[in-house]
Amino acid sequence: MTEGGQQALTPSSQSQSYLTQLSQSEATQQYDAVDSEVGETVQVAYWARVFNLIGFPFEYRDLGPEEDQVEFRIGRDKANKPKNHVNLKSNHVSGPHCTIFYDKVRKKVYIIDYSTNGTFVNGTRLVKNKPRQLNDLDKISLCINIRNAATPGSARVSPGHGGKNEPLFSLSIKLPNTVTDMSTQQSESTNDIQFLEKYENRETLGSGSFGTVFRCVNKETGKVYACKECNVRQFDRVEENGADNFVTEARIMQDLKHEGIVECYEIFTSTDKCRLVMEYVDGGDLFDYIYDNGAYSEADGKALLKNILSALAYAHAKGFAHRDLKPENIFLTKLDNRVCKIGDWGSAKNEIKQVLKTFVGTGCYLAPEVLHRNRSVSKAGSYTIAADMWSLGVIMFVVFTQEAPFTYTHFEKTHGRPSINFENKKLKVLSCPARDLLRRLLQVDPEARISAEQALAHDWFA
């Protein structure tokens, strides 16, 4: 332990490093939020809702609005007994092709196949005459790859329809438990379906109180994205209007078009989930890189920090404060550890449009004025985008030393005036301009702290 409670970040340390503790136990804090209550919902009359994807003669249909309807029969022959609920005009569809039904005892929904050319759930062909339980948002397809699935002697498929891996008919099923408004549920469920039709989630990249980030792939182009997904009701319990704030994050990211900021391409919202489809940065985050590889050289660190400052200067010029800058929210490219993008704008606000006063951030990356605001009488007071520059100063210290400049406990005990060892032996090898910029960033007084625009004009970058 060094002056100011400083602790080394080394993979071989017997105790957990300070930064590791931060990432595990001092996640982003936001203490002004009040838990929200989920409003009461009403039971809907239907036990399932199906949505047309390909070829069905309806946009959507509720199954079971009548109390005694527990089956939904799909086929071709209108004379079939019992009669089909929907008849599809294709010789490849069997008379009774398949039936979706509700088991009142188990309170589950099933599908059973009777066909020649097959019924498929999420691409897997069902065993004929054997019920298969359906889950929310399952995709049901009829007659996939008909040339291979059909029996000998069956009619050919017209070109471009029902070819390889293409169904002749397809629908998706929604299994609601409770909803507040059926018309709203339809449009929002459609967003779920649109996402699942276009993208496929792969492995998990990270998770937290906000939800989970997956690597996802566009099914048509094969391009890789990151998908940030949250459970709406769970998020609303953790943070007041959490789901709305999640969408606000997406709007902010869409407004910030800069090569140093993770881009958000699409937003999908429903009653259950919010999804942001974002730019995928393949090199992991700065925290992991420093933990695994050690401190940066001055030359590489300078290039990295200049990229961060360029993105911050751009965001600050538009009035946006990030408010949770830390190594875990800075993402690197695999080819060059100096090229980075700032992500996770979930705590961001625009100081032009509203006063910044929420106590939000992570551990010692919090600026002193943010800590003071939380400790003031009735939590009065506010702060500015200068808070981001303190956070960047802490990041700069970590980049060149692989150490945190102080512990959060020390930060609190000194009321946001921590003792910082600028004579750290790893800092002493840096040039005078580099150390001067670090001191200007870690100014307790926000009025005296250097701005992003001023930092870019600093002698170190000359």
Domain ranges (residues) in the chain = 3-33+284-461, 48-174, 182-279
Residue 12 reports pLDDT greater than 70: no
Task: Assign a CATH topology to domain 48-174.
Answer: Tumour Suppressor Smad4 (2.60.200)
pLDDT at 166 over 90: no
Q: What is the pLDDT of residues 246-300, one digit of tens each?
A: 777 788 888 899 999 999 999 888 777 788 999 999 999 999 999 999 999 999 9
* CATH number for domain 182-279, candidates 3.40.470.10, 3.30.200.20, 3.40.50.920, 3.40.50.300: 3.30.200.20
Q: Residue 124: which pLDDT band, with cuts at 50, 70 and 90?
A: confident
Q: Read off the pLDDT of each residue in 209-238 and give the average, rounded to a whole number.
A: 79
Q: Give the mean model confidence (pLDDT) for residues 327-349.
A: 93
Q: Is the pLDDT of residue 455 over 90?
A: yes
Catalytic residue, chosen from 272, 324, 344, 388, is 324
The fold of the 3-33+284-461 domain, in CATH, is: Transferase(Phosphotransferase); domain 1 (1.10.510)
For residue 65, the model assigns a pLDDT of: 62
Q: How many CB atoms lie within 10 A of CB 413?
A: 13
The confidence score (pLDDT) of residue 270 equals 76
User: Quick one: DSSP state of residue 348?
Assistant: -
Average pLDDT, the chain: 79
Is residue 341 over pLDDT 80? yes
Residue 292 falls in the annotated catalytic set: no
Mean pLDDT over 148-161 rounds to 32
Residues 157 and 90: their CA atoms lie apart, in Å, by: 10
Q: What is the pTM of this model?
A: 0.62
Going by pLDDT thresholds of 50, 70 and 90, the confidence category of residue 135 is confident
Say which range, 181-185, 225-229, 233-237, 365-369, has the weakest mean pLDDT.
181-185
Q: Which residue has the higher pLDDT, 236 or 128?
A: 128
- Please enumerate in sequence order all residues whose Cβ is within 8 A of that of 92, keeping only pairs 6 or more positions apart, or say none: 117, 142, 143, 146, 150, 154, 155, 157, 162, 168
Pairing of strands 124-125, 96-103: unpaired
- The reply to whether domains 3-33+284-461 and 48-174 share a CATH topology is no
The percent of residues above 90 in pLDDT, for the chain, comes to 47
Spatial separation of the C-alpha atoms in residues 205 and 9, rounded to whole Å: 23
Measured CA angle at 401 (ends 398, 405), to 5 deg? 55
Cα separation, 356 vs 370, in Å, equals 9
